[in-house]
Amino acid sequence: MEKTSPKLFSLWIYCVIVFLTDAGLGSNICTSRGASTCQQCLAVHPTCAWCFQEDFGQNVPGSSRCDLKKNLIEAGCRRGSLEYPTSKMHVTENKDLSDKASGSTTDVTQIQPQSMHISLRPDDSQVFTLKVRQVEDYPVDLYYLMDLSYSMNDDLSQLRRLGRGLAEEMSKTTSNLRMGFGAFVDKPVSPYMYISPQEAVLNPCYSIPYKCQPQFGYRHVLSLTEEVGRFTEEVKKQKVSRNRDAPEGGFDAIIQAAVCKEKIGWRPGASHLLVFTTDAKTHVALDGRLAGIVRPNDGQCYVGTDNVYNMSTTMDYPSLALITEKMSENNINLIFAVTSHVESLYKVRRVINVIKLRSKVELELLNVPEELSLTFNATCLNGEVIPGLRSCSGLKRGDTVSFSVEARARGCPKEKRKTFTIKPVGFKDTLQITVNFECECKCQAKAEPDSPVCHHGNGTYECGICLCNPGRLGPRCECAEGDYSPTEQDACTGPDKVVCSGRGDCVCGQCVCHNNDFGKVWGKRCECDDFSCLRYKGELCSGHGTCSCGFCQCDPDWKGENCNCSTRTDTCMSSLGLLCSGRGQCVCGSCECTQPGAYGSTCDKCPTCPDACTLKKDCVECKHFKRGKLFDDDSCTRICRDEIRLVDDLVFHDKNAVNCTYKDEDDCVQRFQYYEDNSGKSILFLVKEPDCPKGPDILVVLLSVAGAILFLGLAALLIWKLLITIHDRREFAKFEEERARAKWETGHNPLYKGATSTFTNITYRGKD
């Protein structure tokens, strides 16, 4: 799919705007918004310019200083008297992406570019592209935070064997791994703990009976270390405790593990993973009031020399916002490893986006000015541009993805220069962007207060016009508010011949607009207001924009005449990470299914569509067997991002896993299982040995042929013998029958012939 250049796209938009304003409205947008100062003119539209030439328009009645640049020049404005700032962009740091984390991590670059400056006019935008790559063999710090409440007793034995498995699995990702360990229960104060009898304080499990350790809030057990054996040993030493209520104090532990960087041993140049294990929901901010704890959590480190959180009984639980802030601030990926019956709780709440180390890249924004809107388009591994998305999933180390970002100025802040940050979640690499809001005219710096140009000093001469002092009116402040001349009403009359649009009074050739209960009225002829825009469901601009002179200026992520169309596409993403499940288009934040038979909020339901087995069969053929239509089309890598794992037999992974069977071109039956993990990554478990029909046995064939020949020979001999026997018997029977019919005299042998035979010569005539 061909990509459109941002410059060509901007030019196309510009041409459309000029066409609509010039041809469709009869006048351009610059002259129709009632801009009376240079600063107001720049805010009307990025195509507008201001002429501050003093004598401009004297010979051209009705001319406006705020107009399109070409119109001003044609009207006699000198180029040196034009205020026409343009938006521009400049990259200040642009290191190439690294391929592998070799040596010091300070030399590793995972985002490009790293720094840039952007200058923006109001309502104008600039488009830039940033690339992100997760380099191979990047250092990883993994801190395991375990719930040691009594309900976890059954799971503790499995967790004790987890260390070696974690290390083996992580070794596939990095050769530079460090692991640490911490534990938590809940605040050791009533009503969260047993306080009576006294024995319950030392052994909360006394009534079960079972020997438990005393309840504690959070305890740091093992700092991050490369010795995986120590991790396993520390886990084996742990004993459960017991708290009184069902929720645990895990959020206290999360905050302390995140902010106590020196105590935990987080490395600045490593990927930080915090694995949170529990089987229950957790307390949140304000739950501490049950124990009389009202001091808010300040997000600071309070782990003492004894490695125990020493503010557990005096400081409230942290809020979700505080956890999110500290995770982002310290570049920590929080992974919830929870039991099945509370899995939905942590998924639905979405405390923090749970990020699989090798599966997903998501951009987060820090300190973005309110007056700046950012729109993202993601280009992930298959090369398809997904509008409105700022994340890519299904990745592995070394993959590179890119994001097209449009930065648009929606207003003018008091501080005209601001800096914000774009960074991938969990990465230390950032893109620093400094924005200059070009809201003011350079000619404003040359303003002359009490200028003689403004009728004996009755105003400030600024950018070619007079800004009159209070009580003065007129182009040169030559009139007082009490002055009135009917002949001056012509300057207040528009094409409709109505003075000041019927919403103001003409005083000294200028319109003084009336106050209005519905909003503000302004303009050279009071033609503009902020309440006459289109409404949707009773709300002005649908509640997603502001009204300016009859036009809706939409908020970020919204568009349309009445701002009722959302440009976000995350609501159209299916569970597979496909836009409308690949069966439709995302229109105004909702999926419009285009494939026959597809329906649902993300077109995910389609009884008549090819099932998952049919779709994934082609990926098995091309990725593993190097054949099939996808392999022939050279589209295997682009379409199939599945990981194929060979297994001896299919086992149960998840209730949503799909077992598939198909017959290949060799007439063999292939069996595989389609499974998606928590990060949305697709895994195909393929059985190593297919079920193929057995070929012919040579020995059996030879013996069969030989046996058949022998059998046929014997059969032929038997048939021949049978025919001969039948024939002989018939001849013998005939002979016997003839013998029986023969009759001769006794003593005469019918077979005897005499020795003398007499012959007669018939030709002999005798003697003459």
Its CATH class, for the domain covering 140-358, is alpha beta
* Dist CA 276 CA 182 (whole Å): 10
Q: Which two tokens stand for residue 262?
A: 């020196």
Q: For the chain, which residues make up each domain, given as ranges?
A: 88-136+361-437, 140-358, 535-566, 612-687
Average pLDDT of the segment spanning 341-347: 52
**Each residue's pLDDT tens digit, 268-286:** 878 888 988 888 888 999 9
Average pLDDT of the segment spanning 17-40: 62
**Each residue's pLDDT tens digit, 645-669:** 899 888 877 776 788 888 888 888 8
Residue type, 130: L
- Asked if the model's pLDDT at residue 528 lies above 90, the reply is no
| Nearest C-alpha neighbor of 465 from the set 67, 56, 31, 76 | 56
* Angle between helix 228-237 and helix 162-170 axes, rounded to 10 deg: 150
The whole-number pLDDT of residue 353 equals: 34
**Each residue's pLDDT tens digit, 80-138:** 999 999 999 999 999 998 887 655 556 788 999 999 999 999 989 999 999 998 887 78
**Ramachandran angles phi, psi of 689, nearest 5°:** -100, 115
Element (H, E) at 25: none
Residue the block writes with tokens 């079972």: 210
Cα 711 vs. chain centroid, distance in angstroms?
A: 74
The whole-number pLDDT of residue 557 equals: 81
| Nearest C-alpha neighbor of 527 from the set 554, 556, 504 | 504
- CATH 3.40.50.740 applies to domain 535-566: no
Handedness of CA 497, 502, 508, 510 (dihedral sign): negative
Are the C-beta atoms of 83 and 50 separated by less than 8 Å?
Answer: yes
- How buried is 643 (Cβ within 10 angstroms: 0-12 exposed, 13-18 middle, 19+ buried)? middle
Q: Which two tokens stand for residue 588?
A: 């105004």
Average pLDDT of the segment spanning 34-43: 86
Q: Which residues contact 59 (CB under 8 A, 6 or more apart)?
A: 76
3-state helix, strand, coil in the chain (%, to 5): 25, 25, 45
Whole-model pTM? Answer: 0.60
The whole-number pLDDT of residue 359 equals: 64
Residue the block writes with tokens 């396993």: 232
| Nearest C-alpha neighbor of 642 from the set 665, 669, 655, 660 | 660
For residue 418, list its beta bridge partners. 435
Mean pLDDT of the residues in the chain: 81
Q: How confident is the model at residue 51 (pLDDT cuts 50, 70, 90)?
A: very high
Q: Which residues contact 713 (CB under 8 A, 6 or more apart)?
A: none
CATH code: domain 88-136+361-437 is 2.60.40.1510
Q: Which two tokens stand for residue 278?
A: 């529990």
- Asked if the model's pLDDT at residue 388 lies above 90, the reply is no
The whole-number pLDDT of residue 227 equals: 84
Go through the chain and tell me how many residues it has. 768
Element (H, E) at 165: helix 162-170
* Dist CA 531 CA 519 (whole Å): 6
Are the C-beta atoms of 404 and 376 separated by less than 8 Å?
Answer: yes
- How buried is 79 (Cβ within 10 angstroms: 0-12 exposed, 13-18 middle, 19+ buried)? exposed
CATH (one of 1.10.3720.10, 3.30.300.30, 4.10.1240.30, 2.40.400.10) for 612-687:
4.10.1240.30
